[in-house]
């Protein structure tokens, strides 16, 4: 019996020295603490509009919890003409929104896949064609409101820098039949590729 104990003792000692992997899951409290440490406010710049159009889009978001946030986006057309081409003729746009984040336990607050409800308030100009008059074109100002729905994904690092992809659609409510061939449409698109910072 003593010999058996001497034989198995090294095996028992080696088994106790094995390292076990432990996976730590973040609790809701840990996610809330990490979110608070980064800050609840975020400023971001949309580089898609800056590269494709001569336009500046700045966004602000406030996360009221790890699972929702609200904010607004300001779009300013920096082009010299009334439009930068085709169907794009907004001069100034304000988009307030409310977001719902869908997280996994490994995610940080205000981060991950999201869905947002938004309303787009836009001011712009378009050229109206008068075929039966001496003056062929007339510049017409417009104001429109477009409610819509968007979805996207946000990434955040431990320093609080964010990267966001966004796509959504809405419907212009104040468009009329006279604007049918103006380049404006009933539908509107909300899209962006943004970089931001939490504070």
Query: 55 CB contacts (<8 Å, ≥6 apart)?
Result: 49, 75, 76, 77, 78, 79, 84
pLDDT digits (tens, 9 = 90+) for 163-177: 999 999 999 998 876
Which pTM value belongs to this model? 0.74
| Beta strand segments in the chain, E | 41-46, 55-65, 68-77, 90-102, 112-129, 137-156, 161-171, 187-198
pLDDT digits (tens, 9 = 90+) for 16-65: 555 655 555 556 666 666 666 778 899 999 998 888 888 899 999 998 77
Whether the CB-CB separation of 191 and 75 falls below 8 Å is answered with no
Predicted pLDDT of residue 163: 94
User: Which domains, ranges and CATH numbers included, belong to the chain?
Assistant: 26-198 (2.40.160.20)
pLDDT digits (tens, 9 = 90+) for 111-162: 689 999 999 999 988 776 666 555 566 777 889 999 999 999 998 888 889 9
Predicted pLDDT of residue 46: 95
Q: Cite the DSSP H helix spans in the chain.
A: 2-16, 28-38, 47-52
Predicted pLDDT of residue 178: 64
Q: What is the mean pLDDT of residues 168-187?
A: 79
Q: What is the mean pLDDT of residues 61-79?
A: 89
Whether the CB-CB separation of 43 and 68 falls below 8 Å is answered with no
Predicted pLDDT of residue 139: 76
pLDDT digits (tens, 9 = 90+) for 78-106: 876 544 444 457 899 999 999 998 875 55
Predicted pLDDT of residue 138: 72
Predicted pLDDT of residue 158: 83
Q: What is the mean pLDDT of residues 64-82?
A: 83
Tokens, residue 16: 């106790």
Alpha carbon distance 78, 94 (integer Å):
15
Nearest to 82 by CA among 124, 136, 128: 124
Residue that the structure tokens 């062929």 belong to: 136
Q: Calculate the average pLDDT of the chain.
A: 79
């Amino acid at each position: 019996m003593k010999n058996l104990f001497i034989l198995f003792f090294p095996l028992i000692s080696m088994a106790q020295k094995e390292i076990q992997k432990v996976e730590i899951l973040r609790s809701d409290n840990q996610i809330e603490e990490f979110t608070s440490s980064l800050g609840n406010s975020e400023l971001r710049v949309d580089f898609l509009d800056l590269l494709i159009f001569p336009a500046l889009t700045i966004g602000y978001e406030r996360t009221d919890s790890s699972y929702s946030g609200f904010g607004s986006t300001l779009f300013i057309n920096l082009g010299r003409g009334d439009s930068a081409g085709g169907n794009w003729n907004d001069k100034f746009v304000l988009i307030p929104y409310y977001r719902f984040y869908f997280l996994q336990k490994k995610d940080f607050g205000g981060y991950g896949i999201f869905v947002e409800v938004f309303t787009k308030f836009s001011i712009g100009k378009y050229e109206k064609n008068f075929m039966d008059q001496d003056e062929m074109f007339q510049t017409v100002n417009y104001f429109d409101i477009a409610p819509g729905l968007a979805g996207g994904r946000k990434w955040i690092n431990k320093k609080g820098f964010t990267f966001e992809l966004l796509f959504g659609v809405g419907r212009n409510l104040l468009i009329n039949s006279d604007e049918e061939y103006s380049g404006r449409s009933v539908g509107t698109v909300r899209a962006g590729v943004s970089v931001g910072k939490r504070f």
